Amino acid sequence: MFLINFPLMLVPLAVYNFFIFGSDNSLWDRPAFQLQMMSGATFVLTLGQTLIVVALLLLFVEILKATRHGVVSVVDHFLSTLVFIAYVVEFLMVGRAATATFFILMSMTFIDVIAGYSVSMRTSSRDLTIES
Q: What value does the mean pLDDT of the chain take?
A: 87
Q: Number of C-alpha atoms within 13 angstroms, CB side, residue 3? A: 0
How many CB atoms within 10 Å of residue 47? 18
pLDDT tens digit string along 72-123? 778 888 999 999 999 999 999 999 899 999 999 999 999 999 998 888 777 6
